[in-house]
Amino acid sequence: MESPVNQLPGSPDRFAENAATYMVKGSSPDMESGLTSIRNTLNTLKSQPGVYRMLDANDQVLYVGKAKSLKARVANYTQFARLPRRLQRMVAQTRSMTVVVTRSEAEALLLEAQLIKRFRPPYNVLLRDDKSFPFIALDEDHRFPRLAKHRGARKANTHYYGPFASAGAVNTTLNALQKLFLLRSCTDSYMTNRSRPCLLHQIRRCSAPCTGLIDEAGYAELVTDAMAFLSGRSQQVQKKLGQKMSDAAANQDYELAAVFRDRLKALTAIQGAQAINAETDAVDADVIAMATGEGTACVQIFFIRSGQNWGHRAVFPSQISGMSEEEIVSAFLGQFYADMLPARLLLLDRTLAEADLIAEAMTARAGHKVELRVPQRGHMKRLVEQASRNARDAVDRRLAESATQNRNLVALAELFALPAPPQRIEIYDNSHVMGTNALGAMVVAGPEGFRKAQYRKFNMKTAAGGEDGITPGDDFAMMKAMLTRRFVRLQAEDPHGEGLEWPDLLLIDGGKGQVSATMAALRELGVEDVPLVGISKGPDRNAGREIFHFPDGRELTLPVNDPLLFFLQRLRDEAHRFAIGAHRQKRAKAMVVSTLDEVPGIGPARKKALLMHFGTAKAVKGAALDDLLKAPGISQATAEAVYSHFHPRS
């Protein structure tokens, strides 16, 4: 995990080009400055475990590493002639170092992973920083616990089951669990205000505790069965349901017997979808395997809990050039589990030199023993082989997609007369309804596909006096405002255009008007070297007959079945999808703004108390003063303020 890797793609590579000169002449100012800063730090170090950070001239973190002996590890960087080129580049860029001493190497390993996640240095192996794994949560604080999907921080008195690899895996499981255990999925406020069962009860997916169709004891039994199933005791639940179905049939209560029959069918379906192997019952394990090819690496991880497969995910680490497969897997483990608890057993496809250290660090963090194992035979070996096959298939798909993407970028450069295939394409679109909830959106694409972590939304203030000064519904003004805000910030963060955030091509969803607005924004900011093309629908707004608009007034169309046209349509459609989705979220948020927000002195806590007591803002508005005083946490002064707001004296 200690070896650095290549610097960010597209950044100056003069250190690599001149590495031989450095070694022969030893006269590079960059190299000498880097070595001097490292030697100055080395003089202060002792043979202690810890974590070190290498910083450049702007105090940006280049690399984070850990060491059993800081003095010995950092001393290696002073042997410049023996370093590989990637390390020579890093040393040449280094201007200072920061060191943190830890009590053990395991503690250093944990700190290293946290700092890599925080700073995302250009010389460390990096994972995408958008992973979020959902859980199924069962809240026991309520008389009738709710079964729901959960992300984020955990609460007390709640059972969590997971992680699941994706929201789709959770939704599929929750759908089956609703059929099987009939537990409610609605919110507490929704349940409190029900006067009759909802549709879920009608289709036999809820036992309707909201209207008293099941008592507290009966519901508690369903909760117990659900917890048993999620804990791996599905056979016990199956036997119990089978007995109840038989008893109902024996008593000639065939309608009840049919209910138990349907629940058994749901149980069988979910067992078939999630079962791994009968031999793995009650096993909690994360199965991890890696495959590489042509500079691409994929780590495949399967989540197995209580013998059930809760999905799998492919992770593609970046900045791996020059790294061994063992180093990549070790780096993956450190970062992947930096903020997620591991299973008690990690099944790997290879032996790691630092396996004992990694297990020690994970055990300390998780609070339970974590074992790393490379199975040699049996069902666990077959699980690892399955993960390996999936990893190889994922690499093959990624390479095929990358080859197609590169061909499209080369063709795009030829079509739009760009100096080179674009490495960063920014696509812009607007969305609003009659000028309301106006919003601009930017999506980003490159050789690896869409870079969703770099998408951006631009809220437009169209009201009179708004900072954007936009007339509601003026698409041209919205486009100009969005591009102005984007490039003002870009110029402030990277005034010389040396970073990775400057686009090689701007694609604007629109025709001549949008292109003119964009040109005006760039011209006012002095930006003249960014290629710009607009995409508008053709006659009758037919897809496939798009017209491409250039700043000089030229227009271009492509044949209907041209692969490059499909590629450009996909870029435009992604921007449109993102803009529409963001606009809908903004509109939905605006629609749920309560009239209580307008009452002076009513904050979130009192607003919640009133809504929980009365059910709706309309009921609060019509409540008498005495009724308002009955709401928990509402004082005489607050009740009078609410009542006076809705019942002003004439």
Q: Is 391 inside any structural domain?
A: yes
Identify whether residues 565 and 474 lie together within a single domain.
yes
Structure tokens given for 599 = 């009452």
Q: Which of 423, 460, 458 is nearest to 444 (CA)?
A: 423
Question: pLDDT higher for 455 or 255?
Answer: 455
Asked if residue 119 has pLDDT above 50, the reply is yes
Residue 109 binned pLDDT confidence (cut-offs 50, 70, 90):
very high
Asked if residue 14 has pLDDT above 50, the reply is no
Q: Is 84 inside any structural domain?
A: yes
Distance CA 2, CA 476 (A): 51
Q: Show the CA angle centred on residue 26, arms to residues 62 and 1, nearest 5°.
A: 30
Asked if residue 50 has pLDDT above 90, the reply is yes
Q: Is the Cα torsion angle 557, 560, 563, 569 positive or negative in sign?
A: positive
Q: What is the domain extent for residue 24?
A: 14-119
Q: How many domains does the chain have?
A: 5
Residue 632: which H helix or E strand, with range?
Answer: none
Identify whether residues 434 and 558 lie together within a single domain.
yes
Distance CA 28, CA 262 (A): 77
Q: What is the mean pLDDT of the chain?
A: 82
Q: Is 102 inside any structural domain?
A: yes
Q: Is 638 inside any structural domain?
A: yes
CA dihedral 12, 15, 18, 22 (to 10 degrees): 160
3-state secondary structure labels for all residues of 339-399: CCCCCCEEEECCCCCCHHHHHHHHHHHHCCCCEEECCCCHHHHHHHHHHHHHHHHHHHHHH
Express each pLDDT in 193-223 by its tens digit: 788 888 888 888 899 999 889 998 999 988 8
Express each pLDDT in 269-321 by its tens digit: 665 555 444 344 557 899 999 999 888 899 999 998 877 788 888 999 988 88
Identify whether residues 268 and 302 lie together within a single domain.
no
Identify whether residues 142 and 208 lie together within a single domain.
yes
Q: Is 406 inside any structural domain?
A: no
Q: Is 553 inside any structural domain?
A: yes
Q: Is 414 inside any structural domain?
A: no
Asked if residue 252 has pLDDT above 50, the reply is yes
Asked if residue 455 has pLDDT above 60, the reply is yes
Yes or no: say if 300 and 388 are a contact pair by the CB < 8 Å rule. Answer: yes
CATH code: domain of residue 373: 3.30.420.10
- Mean pLDDT is lowest, of 5-19, 83-97, 99-113, 563-577, for 5-19
CATH code: domain of residue 462: 3.30.420.340
CATH code: domain of residue 625: 1.10.150.20
Question: pLDDT higher for 494 or 303?
Answer: 303
CATH code: domain of residue 20: 3.40.1440.10
Residue 24 pLDDT: 32
Asked if residue 375 has pLDDT above 80, the reply is yes
Identify whether residues 374 and 467 lie together within a single domain.
no
Identify whether residues 261 and 372 lie together within a single domain.
no
Q: Is 612 inside any structural domain?
A: yes
Identify whether residues 447 and 364 lie together within a single domain.
no
Identify whether residues 568 and 599 lie together within a single domain.
no
Structure tokens given for 606 = 């009192």
Question: pLDDT higher for 510 or 9?
Answer: 510
Identify whether residues 390 and 505 lie together within a single domain.
no
Identify whether residues 573 and 435 lie together within a single domain.
yes
Identify whether residues 445 and 560 lie together within a single domain.
yes
Distance CA 28, CA 18 (A): 9
- Mean pLDDT is lowest, of 236-250, 398-412, 497-511, 585-599, for 585-599
Average pLDDT over residues 343-369: 92
Identify whether residues 262 and 330 lie together within a single domain.
no
Residue 568 pLDDT: 92
